[in-house]
Amino acid sequence: MKYQCRRRVDKEDEMTCLIKGCNFVLKNIPHEAFVYAKHADSEFRFQTTNPDIFPYLLVNIGSGVSIVKVESEDKFERIGGSSIGGGTFWGLGALLTKTKRFDELLQLASKGQHASVDMLVKDIYGGSYGYLGLTGDLIASSFGKSATADKDFSKEDMAKSLLHMISNDIGQLACLYAKLHNLSRVYFGGFFIRGHPVTMHTITYSINFFTKGEVQALFLRHEGYLGTIGAFLKGAEEDNPNQYSWGENYAGSSGLMSVSPDMNPMQRARSGTFPFDMLEMDRLERQLVNLPLLQDPSSYIPDTVDLTEDALAREYWLYCFEEALDGVVKRAVASQPDMPEAALRAEKFRQKYRHKLQTLRQQPFAYGSLTVRSLLDTREHCLNEFNFPDPYSKIKQRENDIALKYYQKAVKSLDELSWEEKQFALVRGVLAGNVFDWGAKAVSDVLESDPEFGFEEAKRQLEERPWLVDSYDQWLERLKGPPHKCALFFVDNSGVDIILGVMPFVRELLSRGTEVVLASNSGPALNDVTNGELQILTERIAAMDPVIEAGLREDRLLLVQSGSSSPCLDLSRLDKVLAMVVRERQTDLVIIEGMGRAIHTNYYAMLSCESLKMAVIKNSWLADRLGGKLFSVVFKYEVPAGKPNKDCGAFSPS
């Protein structure tokens, strides 16, 4: 379900809607809040979402300033304000510079030198005021020089001086209120702030100065929508919106900074959307919650690399996704052979996604932290928008059919092995199966040129032990011990992966007396197996395999949807039912398979039970970066501190 919020609200409700909207985005949108640091490598430092958002101070800078203390969902109070706000900057700025538009004023300000208009401490002291620790560059008197010096001042300089004066003043008042009410989280919003780096910078500077770094100025990516989101939620109150979870739709949202005056005016003109900025939120049908087995949910960050901070990795991945675009378009068209307009839609998809990639190249922070996950998710959202909900559905079916034919033979050959040989073969099977992945570029090249590429071939491609990350010995030792109570297995691809790799492994766990919960995607993403598909597949396997059949019948093998439709995995946003099952079954082992879920995300995820992360690195750049080569293996078995078997999962130099 999609809602686009563009509603007008009456004045009396304004504040209520604003706060409702603010609470909503802080709770529901990952990387909503950020700290702005103009001169840092990454200008935007996104804050991880903390479920505990209260209390906070919201400083809304419209034409005036309102300072609101928010204590809970329904409890907030306007504790103060100031008449010196955005209207003062605009009104006074227009008088001083004869410049009419707010954006133009900001642009003037960004080019000006305030020191020619302001009286600085050094203008009075000749240097710093050492006794009080006031440095010479501090502004002693805003516009102080225009009172004494008889000369003309440039528009740019006056606009800059005005911007400093107003930002400093607001920052100072915000700090005084924060101190009085003992609050450390201060969010800034309103049209004065709205994606304008100049004002964010001056406000941040002011807050740092007045609190000596004790309070950080926080900004919101969707600050401009708070009122309308709030109004929508208010309207939908009977519907109890808190029972659902929400996700940002990257395809529909225009992203941060798109209204900023000095950011990409070219791009803004091209996109033709200015001045309408968009946020699209998908209401997810089910409620999403933390995996109960996360060691510390508040510090959990799904993504392994933040591409906003890692310029080299960002370059590569943006290039990689752009390169892969032709193939994705081709497959999208091929997936709908009976629809003549599919080619046109696919072309529109190509344009949209390419534009998103270009935007991200310029503004990596446009949708919060940029990660491989967000790039993948954006592509899925864009495909959906142009009605390609599942471009791989036919491929997945064909792959499944081929693999199923081979299932019994594979199981039989495994059963012929000794116990120890079998354990190793099972692990190699999961890894080899995972090589079959249309999502990874190296593999999709091979698969498309040689459809006969088979399971045995994949095994031969695998790196020999010792693997790049290799804790297999510890895993084997563990298997000699008592069986696990219940294993939660996050599965990856359809076809050979799930059928010939995962299922035999699951079968062995069941035989050992371990219950197994297979968690698969709720909706399609690449060639990942969805929960719906897995239901059918498992039935078909059960018909051939008494162990699987018994597992299903005795309720020791469960198929549960993860709540996600992404090729990656965010363990803080999982289907509530899954979390419940995990708790009920006293899950003591979590297995995560594949690059998307175990390397791009969750590589560093700390769990409170044993965990096994298995993946084949099917990207030579990434392999290189991790010190391995193409088809290097990551086998990371971890036991939380305090339990026997120490962490064995560090990358070993190879």
Question: Where does this chain bind other proteins (CB under 8 A)?
Answer: 11-12, 15, 62-64, 66, 78, 80-88, 90-92, 94-96, 100, 117-119, 121, 123-127, 129, 131-132, 138-148, 150, 153, 158, 165, 168-169, 172-173, 176-177, 179-180, 210
Specify the residue for token string 């560059």.
Answer: 137
Toward other proteins, which CB reaches closer, 172 or 290?
A: 172
DSSP 226-250: HHHHHHHHHHTGGG-GGGSEEEE-T
Nearer to other proteins, 168 or 359 (CB): 168
Least distance in Å: CB of 122 to other proteins? 8
> Do residues 283 and 558 make contact, with C-beta atoms less than 8 angstroms apart?
no
Starting at the earlier edge strand, list the strands of the sheet with 2-4: 2-4, 280-284, 245-248
In whole angstroms, how close is the CB of 218 to other proteins at the nearest point? 21
CB contact at 8 A, 56 and 187: yes
CB of 242 to other proteins, least distance (A): 24
Residue (of 618, 615, 616, 614) closest to 637 by Cα position: 614
Edge to edge, what strands does the sheet with 56-61 contain? 44-46, 33-36, 216-220, 185-189, 56-61, 65-70, 76-82
CB of 80 to other proteins, least distance (A): 8
Do residues 202 and 163 lie in contact, with contact meaning Cβ atoms separated by under 8 Å?
Answer: yes
CB of 335 to other proteins, least distance (A): 53
**Which residue type occupies 616?**
V
- The string of DSSP codes covering 450-499 is -TT--HHHHHHHSPPSSPSEE-HHHHHHHHTSPPPSEEEEE--BTTHIII
The answer to whether the beta carbons of residues 495 and 403 sit under 8 Å apart is yes
Cα 394 from Cα 416, distance rounded (Å): 34
In the bound state with other proteins, the residue whose beta carbon lies nearer, of 173 and 609, is: 173
Q: Closest distance between other proteins and the C-beta of residue 90, in Å?
A: 5
Using the minimum distance from each CB to other proteins, give the nearer residue, 55 or 389: 55
- Choice between 177 and 407, CB closer to other proteins: 177
Rounded to the nearest angstrom, the gap between the alpha carbon of residue 292 and the centroid of all alpha carbons in its chain is 20
Decide whether 37 or 176 has the Cβ nearer to other proteins. 176
Nearest approach in angstroms of CB 5 to other proteins is 23
Sign of CA dihedral 487, 488, 490, 496: positive
Whether 215 and 188 have beta carbons less than 8 Å apart is answered as no
68 or 568: whose CB is closer to other proteins?
A: 68
66/601 with CB nearer other proteins = 66
Q: How far is the CB of 102 from other proteins (least distance, A)?
A: 8
Give the angle 599-642-576 at the CA atoms, nearest 5°. Answer: 55
Between 212 and 480, CB nearer to other proteins: 212
Query: Would you say how long the chain is, in residues?
Result: 654
Encode 510-546: b = buried (16+ Cβ within 10 Å), e = exposed.
beeebbbbbbbbbbbbbbbbbbebbeebbebbbeebe
Residues 43, 363: Cα–Cα separation, whole Å: 10
Which C-beta is closer to other proteins: that of 127 or that of 265? 127
Least Å distance between CB 230 and other proteins? Answer: 15
SS3 assignment, position 530: strand
Helices (H), 366-437: 372-385, 393-415, 419-435
Task: Report the nearest approach of other proteins to the CB of residue 444 (Å).
Answer: 55
- Taking each continuous run of H as one helix and of E as one strand, the counts in the chain are 25, 21
In angstroms, give the least distance from the CB of 204 to other proteins.
Answer: 17
Q: Which is nearer to other proteins, 12 or 416 (CB)?
A: 12
